[in-house]
Amino acid sequence: MKKINFLFGIHCHQPVGNFEHVFDQAYQDCYRPFIETLDRHPRIKFAAHWSGILYDWFLIKHPEFIDLLGKLVKRGQMELLTAGYYEPILPIIPDADKVGQIKMQSEFIKSKFKSSPRGLWLTERIWEPALPKVLSETGVEYVTVDDYHFFSAGLLPEELFGYYLTEDQGVTLKVFPINKKLRYLIPFKLPEETINYLRSEAGDDPSRAAILADDGEKFGMWPGTHQWVFKENYLENLLTRIEANLDWIVPMTFSEYLDEYPAQGRVYLPTASYFEMMEWSLPTRAGLKFARLMQEIEKSGRAEEYKQFFKGGFFRNFFVKYEEANNMHKKMLQVSSKLQTIKKSPSSGERQNLIESAERDLYQGQCNCAYWHGVFGGLYLGNLRHAVYEHLIKAEDTLQKIQRGEKKFTEVVVTDFDKDGAEEVLMANDLLNLYFSPRLGGGLFEIDYKPQAFNLANTLTRREEAYHQKIREAAPQNLAVTQTGTASIHDVVRVKEAGIQKYLVYDNYRKVSLLDHFLPLDISLEKIEHSDYQEMGDFIGAEYGFFPHRKSEEAKVTFSRVGRVGNQPIDLAKSVSLFSGASIAHIEYEIINRSDLPLSTIFGLEFNLTLLAGDAPDRYYKVPGKKLAEPKLQSRGEVPAVSEVKLIDGWKGFGVSLGLEKIGDFWRYPQETVSQSEGGFERTFQGSVILFLWKLSLPPNAKWTNKIVFKIEEGV
């Protein structure tokens, strides 16, 4: 009789910083019923990976679930896989952190389940050829990757019914190809279709194996799947059908298969992930072009054939596509480097405790979800970006205390922080980090308030995405939510609310703070919000010269540019000063009209700040001496003649104030993006755009000056 081995694995994960109700829903609708169902079918062997974030949550909220997992491990039904504890993309973190994170999870599994994991779940199946050597340091014998990885190496579908050996620098690793056909059958099609497919692939070779390893959230967490998988008994029926065919379907764990059968051969896999990830990671222009191309190919009915051999995309290009992701990544590398430097010195006692605390925060700041965007919100979700920054700032602050104790300090460092070939200016004291980009007009792109581990500049620029074309094409009467259950951007064709098309607005420049606008006299808030105007000056997005210096307890940097407003030459200089022991930055402006003609324009100073929630009653604007009809941070409006504006965070208990020496007009609007999620399309509040406007009428060679005080206060 022809037979086939069935290797089945799931991976379950929730991001660092996800909401508590999401964890609870995932547990109730997916994780618990899945394991309880498998518990009733002990002959169905499988592998499972749970991220460390979930293990931490289970231990606190549902320790009985840990006991249930232990039961399945003990009887040999479930094999546990290791990974980076806090679910990092392994190739993008330093090798020391790769080893540390994997060992943390492996040691947890050994401690709690008395089992030594042999296999590793490769986060998002992001493969790079140098992985075998570093994985060998952690005792990992095998990984699972997509069949697409093997297609990219030139193998054919009929060759992917077993595992292969790969190596780096003579160190070998076993790699299993995940069967895409099974990935789309289970759990979305009737059990009979899965049985028929397995029957069609059964053969006389006893080593022949059908291999599936995929997201566990498909079993109850994806839209509509809880009803289908559990209430309509899909999973129960599938397992029962497999049990009825155990004479030719042989469920095995991956390790059992390794112990019984040899490798199919040797293979060298190129850098790859699953096909959809490769598509999402294409830089913006290429991604838009590819989306249009795929639409044409789909019309021909040959899309799947094309995808099988498509080579393109690379995960690290998310750091090209999204500067915000790149800044998080480079911040993470910066903190990791500081940690490794400190670890070189002998440590014990309280110093060692602080190092371990910083290391755990660093690892949590490496959680992958906020670093990229595809069918899930990812980078577009401010709470996930905030969680990354929160842990990285905490780690950095802990390391600062190891090095400096409780001493107050200031420093200014010039370095290529974002690795683009241009220098950035990093100012810091014991309470604040201020990161500036001379290339972005002296823009302020990171504002870390250390006591709250909060990056106030954690906003997102509005960009065109390939899937936005689907929104433009949707008829208003058809605007509703739909999701087919697959992970391709071409499957989601409707949106959540009528009129969302009007929010497809794109910024002409990166939304950071301390940006210098010269605007026409007839400018309006609506025109600015919709990027429907022309700058009179050439300062936005232009290179500024800079001069950093430090004396005594003050760090200071001056940015300057000789530019033009219309045809008139203009000198602009702005200085930012930071003093030790204070969460205050002093900003001074000087604008000189160098032309022979009077200058008539509106000067606008832009800040982009976030307190995370736009509609929460405990996050709001406050303008002393003025009453706002709508104070929430997602509000828009104009307030004339102000001397101070405050953003209040009642949730965290602190406030941000911007005080003006010269009274100006205050305009505001919410920064909102339209992004794709597993449920359709969503408008997402990213932050508050704040503009201060002054009408300038400068005679030839006349000077305009102003001072702004940026201050953060506790207890508001």
Closest to 330 measured CA to CA, from 440, 445, 236: 445
Residues 229-244 pLDDT 10s: 999 999 999 999 999 9
Pairing mode, strands 584-593 and 703-714: antiparallel
306 pLDDT band (50/70/90 cuts)?
Answer: low
Minimum mean pLDDT among 314-328, 489-503, 527-541: which range? 489-503
- State residue 479's pLDDT score: 41
The 10 Å Cβ neighbour count of residue 22 is: 12
- The Cα 404–Cα 429 span in angstroms is 11
Query: Among 39, 141, 201, 215, which one carries the catalytic annotation?
Result: 215
- State residue 698's pLDDT score: 97
- State residue 326's pLDDT score: 98
Is residue 124 among the annotated active site residues?
yes
- The Cα 332–Cα 230 span in angstroms is 40
Higher pLDDT, 402 or 300: 402
Query: Among 124, 323, 324, 397, which one carries the catalytic annotation?
Result: 124
**Three-state DSSP state, 577:** strand
**Three-state DSSP state, 485:** coil
Average pLDDT on 290-318 reads 70
- Please state, in angstroms and as integers, the Cα–Cα distance from residue 605 to each residue in 84, 351, 658, following that order: 43, 44, 11
Residues 175-223 pLDDT 10s: 999 999 999 999 999 999 999 999 999 999 999 999 999 999 999 999 8
- The Cα 160–Cα 297 span in angstroms is 26
Average pLDDT on 101-118 reads 98
Average pLDDT on 133-152 reads 95
Residues 484-496 pLDDT 10s: 222 332 333 344 4
Cis peptide before 129 (omega within 30 of 0): no
Residues 413-429 pLDDT 10s: 999 999 999 999 999 99
φ, ψ (nearest 5 deg) of residue 30? -135, -65
396 pLDDT band (50/70/90 cuts)?
Answer: very high
- The Cα 569–Cα 571 span in angstroms is 7
Joined together, the tokens standing for residue 95 give 């090798």
The 10 Å Cβ neighbour count of residue 170 is: 8
Average pLDDT on 28-47 reads 98
The rounded percent of the chain whose pLDDT value lies above 70 is 94
Residue 298 above 80 pLDDT? Answer: no
Residue 3 above 80 pLDDT? Answer: yes
Residue 305 above 70 pLDDT? Answer: no
476 pLDDT band (50/70/90 cuts)?
Answer: low
Average pLDDT on 445-461 reads 98
290 pLDDT band (50/70/90 cuts)?
Answer: low
- State residue 491's pLDDT score: 31
- State residue 485's pLDDT score: 29
Beta carbons within 8 Å of 650's beta carbon, 6+ residues apart:
618, 619, 620, 716
pTM of the predicted structure, to 2 decimals: 0.93
Would you say 443 and 434 are in contact if contact means Cβ atoms under 8 Å apart? no
Average pLDDT on 565-584 reads 97
- b/e map of 515-533 (b: 16 or more CB within 10 Å)? bbbbbeeebebeebbeeeb
| Mean pLDDT rounded to a whole number for the chain | 93
Q: Which residue matches tokens 């301390």? A: 514
